[in-house]
Chain A
Amino acid sequence: MTTAPRLAVVAGLLGGLALFAGSPYLADQGRVNLNGLAADIARGEDRIEAIALAGWIRDQRPNLSVIDLRSPEDYAAFHIPTAVVQPLESTLGARFAASDTIVIYGDGSAAASQAWVLLKARTRAAVFYLRGGVGAWLDEVMAPTIASDAPAAERAAFARISELSRYFGGAPHVIHPGDPKPLSRASDEMSRAETLAKVARMMRRGC
């Protein structure tokens, strides 16, 4: 039995060298796994929908951090519940644990998705950006809609969405055929004025 003892010597050497080898994680080595990032983007695993985020917040998903990348003024006007405001630079400098889940969001422009790449390249934590930004939260969580003639399966899904919406103080409603069509937005990006207007409408609704 001469092979096994030799294997033991090799294992001992490799183990001993490991003590002085430094971190095995690419992020600590300053290296980036580009094909891995590309695979996440292609699979849509870089982003999360507003309703899904709402579920995570309500269910108190462990180690969840929601980070608002906008200005302090925008944050003060309205922010997603439990979110903290932190500009990109200091977010990139923060330390996160491997078991953390980080959700970053902005105003719906490309900034959050770009921030995703930068953040994911330097942390082991799970990172997602909110698809559609704060506007998607205002639309899909705070004011979700369903057509009055929608099929049963859609109505069942809407029941669950409505429950989540009401938890956050939102107002789900049904759209009837005769209702005026909402103005469609050319892109997800919402201007500051639009956000403020939306929030103002939302505030006026309460009791």
Chain B
Amino acid sequence: MSAPKPYANPYLAGAGLGLVLLAAFVVAGRGLGASGAFIRVSEHLRGGGGPWFDWIVVEIIGVVAGGGLSAWLAGRWRVAVDRGADRSASGRLAAAAGGGALMGAGAVLARGCTSGLGLTGGAMLSVGSWLFIAAAFAAGYATMPIVRRAWR
């Protein structure tokens, strides 16, 4: 089995991502999002109304398809638990779920996440989005020393 292909240049990948975001502006007048899809799914599971195939839910399905396809073609597809060298899989999974819960709460409070506010709001120069980006990065750097051992 051949080794997985190396990752792409981050600036090129970012520029490509920016063109995708621009395409969303031009075609649909809206940007990318992720946490919104989680909110829609949560509402539906609790019996809320509205169509299942909302724009953002369809988009997230695309993200799953695109990510999976890219990994498979690059030889990077495998079942695994990405974690630090001396971390147990179960410890990692528990932390992942906990982190996910915090992100879910933060995203509801802020009305978005790194995709909806960071990328879309960032490109559209929204003040609240830039405040979110700054706060998220600041909190990330502040929190890393606490969980640092998990990522060595």
Contacts and interface: CB of A to CB of B under 8 A. Distances in A.
Contacts of B11: 3-4, 7-8
Interface string A1-36: 101100110000000000000000000000000000
B90 interface: no
A19 to B, nearest CB: 15
Nearest to A8: B11
Contacts of B93: none
Contacts of A3: 9, 11-12
Contacts, number: 11
Interface of B is mostly: helix
Contacts of B95: none
Task: Give chain A's interface residue range (CB within 8 Å of chain B).
Answer: under 10
Interface residues of B, number: 4
A15 to B, nearest CB: 13
Nearest to B29: A36
B92 to A, nearest CB: 33
Interface string B8-42: 01011001000000000000000000000000000
Contacts of B15: 7
A1 B9 CA distance: 8
10 contacts: A1-B9, A3-B9, A3-B11, A3-B12, A4-B9, A4-B11, A7-B11, A7-B12, A7-B15, A8-B11
Interface of B: 9, 11-12, 15
Question: Sorted from nearest, which 3 A-B pairs have the closest CB atoms?
Answer: A4-B11, A7-B15, A4-B9
